Structure 1
């Protein structure tokens, strides 16, 4: 059933207000130079929906376009087609806004934010830069007679300007297309609320939206830090201990990573053009040569900001979750959490006892190291043994530690039992290390991401640990965690 025009308009306004609340929170963050925001600003052309006021840089002007479904992408026709017979096309309106906002040699930062996708089959739009979101840099390099070069000429002719002038404008227009709907944006808003010590539950997020909505309906365009702080206090939004958010983008990017306290982007370091295929690094030396140092640098910056609570999220596989847990470890006085199956799994919870099934040790006799297979979601013992026997690793003993009575997708149902599992696994590994005298542990994982995070968080008094990535089939070395 299609949504009515009025219903679609209401959803669009709510989405815009949520986006405005996301940026308003920047005024409360010490690392930002944001003084406040303006909403539906006069004399800002078509980038008037949300304006972020900056102290030391150009203001950021956003147009927010919301679609109730994904049937209509942002394509070439959208850019050059006026909405009415006497109106201007979006491209012409962006150019007009660019001219109006450029003054005293300062160029504005403009953004199109929308949940509609970008039509990358178009030769011009296909040249959007993957990191900056702009068209200018790559479009500038297109040969004049290429499809993209001819498209560039048509765009400039449509606006009635020289190609060089159009490209300068496109250098400063960020296309934030294909953005998540309400839920994805609300998650990032929640991250920012937690980072500044506000309540961050769904009700608190909605109260922030109501705050923006009230200003708009009350014809208040400008909101500075003082007004924002006073309204937050009036609504009783304070209450949580400050919490940092760390987003690790390993196998896929998070469109709202920039809202986190720290965000790491490792996607291009992995082989494969799809998240399911991204399992091994292009250069295996990067596990400890680049990725682990980047995690540790993020930990130092977060500590310097005064945080001791950290929420970890992102698309990554189990070794990265484990490494994040180690980095924000219990011995470093951090409390760590993630969202697992829609619930927060936190190291703050009291642990419940978790029954383990410890298999009979398999003596491989190839050296003095210990190999451990953690079978929670699946039984991985046979696959690990096959890998160990053909890899030539100096492993003397393999031990499987499985969920009892048997591995399954629901073997660890909640945070309390995840923490209990992590404590129990740590104890068994310590006992096996004492029994064998091993100076290195080879660790193979199968289970929930949250369990891997908590295990890494509690991993101490254990020798240097080599983690392995499941390559399906086989395994490959991932992070090495010093003992």
Structure 2
């Protein structure tokens, strides 16, 4: 049965929707307190909700062990009729009071009196106006309007807009630039987006991250507000997590690798790689090879430098968006001998290399004799059968391959062949054990993958003591395959 369009909510519905959005943002901040000093250099120690004495930046306050604290103004709307632009920011309120920008400026001035640095955030589900001279230049990585907003002379479109913002907020000369240096514009964060980010944060912090768990967290924040609680400490949040039954593991250092789309957890990562603009392609499905002047070798240098940025980390969650060669190579770089436990979110489930299993799963291995050289080719196909495409590519490109090993799950290839983390580890261990004696007499292995992304990471993590050098290939779909990364024994 198909339902019709929803009616526009009344005032009560709008207010409830806005409150829930604010509690969701606050719960996301609460989860950050669980990532203590063992995984965060400057951990969050408390979260404020509707805090007194900080002006219009009181909706959510993130208190850290050392400054800067983060002051978040949360704005919710039920539709996208009015995007974030100069008018939205500088027009007086409906009651004729100060504009949003003036309120933020006034609060910033008061916060600055202490001399401590502060981070300011305007967070809303409203979208940015692509026609606005200043807002349209927002940097998607930092969420700041600078440096683009500072370009152009006083008579340029940006210069005129800067003057209008300065005048409307009653600022002094130069203060707008100072404000924009610390004011992030977190825009177009609809409820679903923030819920998904909160779920990822919860998984990274050792909690359940399903929709029901997120809802439980939101409800708990609401109860704190009803009870008049304005500042919630890390210990209180930790106790609540235990009481609510949300704990399922331990906090992990975040390694963010964004290849296809930006990673919402990049700002919270111990180390992050942003390759979105370094891959060719108009959208995520088409981003399959580096965009010149970027090369596979440069990207591999980035991956091989990861351990130096995670010194002391023993439990790591890999977030972001990766294709299979990248996931495998990251796993191989942080392989078992580094004593790092890796985890990744696979279809809302956490797959971790330290998940126990009863016994290894022995894969099915079919051998195709090729006779073009002295190397070995391996295709690991779990999600889809691709061995015929690989065979065709090897023969067309005359790769120096003696034979191809086609590795599949014992019950056949399908997109549900792996039921979860335990099954993934059992199969990865079984594949490694089955292949190790067969590859050792070769100097080079050509590896092709058709697996879930999480499995590629787990398999790479176990790809130790294999013997030969492994070359991992990227699937270019209609263009065949391309050498991506080379992994030493």
Normalising by the smaller structure, the TM-score range is 0.7 to 0.9
Matching of residues 170-209 of structure 1 within 5 Å? 170-179=180-189, 181=191, 182-191=194-203, 193-194=205-206, 205-209=214-218
Whole-Å separation in 2 of the counterparts to 1:424 and 1:46? 58
Q: Which residue of 1 aligns with 2:228?
A: 219
Q: Which residue of 2 aligns with 1:297?
A: 308
Report deviation, 1:227: 4.6
Among 76, 83, 89, the residue aligned to 1:73? 83
Report deviation, 1:420: 4.3
Q: Which residue of 2 aligns with 1:468?
A: 473
Whole-Å separation in 1 of the counterparts to 2:376 and 2:161? 61
Q: Which residue of 1 aligns with 2:298?
A: 286
Report deviation, 1:404: 6.2
- Measured at CA, do residues 180 and 464 of structure 1 come closer, stay the same or move farther in structure 2, by a change above 3 Å? farther
Q: Which residue of 2 aligns with 1:124?
A: 134
- Measured at CA, do residues 221 and 461 of structure 1 come closer, stay the same or move farther in structure 2, by a change above 3 Å? same
Report deviation, 1:466: 1.3
Of 321-330 and 446-455, more deviation after overlay is shown by 321-330
Matching of residues 13-92 of structure 1 within 5 Å? 13-28=19-34, 29-30=36-37, 31-68=41-78, 70=80, 72-92=82-102
Q: Does 1:443 align with 2:422?
A: no
Whole-Å separation in 1 of the counterparts to 2:80 and 2:318? 29
Report deviation, 1:105: 4.6
SS state at 1:360 partner: strand
Whole-Å separation in 2 of the counterparts to 1:423 and 1:237? 30
Whole-Å separation in 2 of the counterparts to 1:86 and 1:228? 39
Whole-Å separation in 1 of the counterparts to 2:225 and 2:44? 20
Matching of residues 206-355 of structure 1 within 5 Å? 206-229=215-238, 240-260=249-269, 262-281=271-290, 282-294=294-306, 296-303=307-314, 307=315, 310-347=316-353, 348-350=355-357, 353=361
Decide whether the 8 Å contact of 1:361 with 1:400 is kept in 2: no
Of 95-104 and 403-412, more deviation after overlay is shown by 403-412
Report deviation, 1:90: 1.6
Whole-Å separation in 2 of the counterparts to 1:249 and 1:96? 37
Listed as ranges, the gaps of 5+ residues in structure 1 are none
Whole-Å separation in 1 of the counterparts to 2:61 and 2:438? 59
Q: What is the TM-score of this pair, normalised by structure 1?
A: 0.85
Q: CA RMSD in A?
A: 3.1
Q: Which residue of 1 aligns with 2:376?
A: 370
SS state at 2:96 partner: coil
Whole-Å separation in 1 of the counterparts to 2:117 and 2:361? 60
SS state at 2:368 partner: coil
Q: Which residue of 1 aligns with 2:3?
A: none
Q: Which residue of 2 aligns with 1:453?
A: 457
- Measured at CA, do residues 467 and 78 of structure 1 come closer, stay the same or move farther in structure 2, by a change above 3 Å? same
Report deviation, 1:40: 0.8
SS state at 1:300 partner: coil
Q: How many residues align?
A: 470
SS state at 2:63 partner: strand
- Measured at CA, do residues 216 and 157 of structure 1 come closer, stay the same or move farther in structure 2, by a change above 3 Å? same
Deviations 1:295-350 (A, max 9, x none): x23443423xxx3xx43332110012212332443444444433323333344142
Decide whether the 8 Å contact of 1:12 with 1:67 is kept in 2: yes
Whole-Å separation in 1 of the counterparts to 2:445 and 2:297? 19
Listed as ranges, the gaps of 5+ residues in structure 2 are 1-5
- Measured at CA, do residues 177 and 169 of structure 1 come closer, stay the same or move farther in structure 2, by a change above 3 Å? same
SS state at 1:313 partner: strand
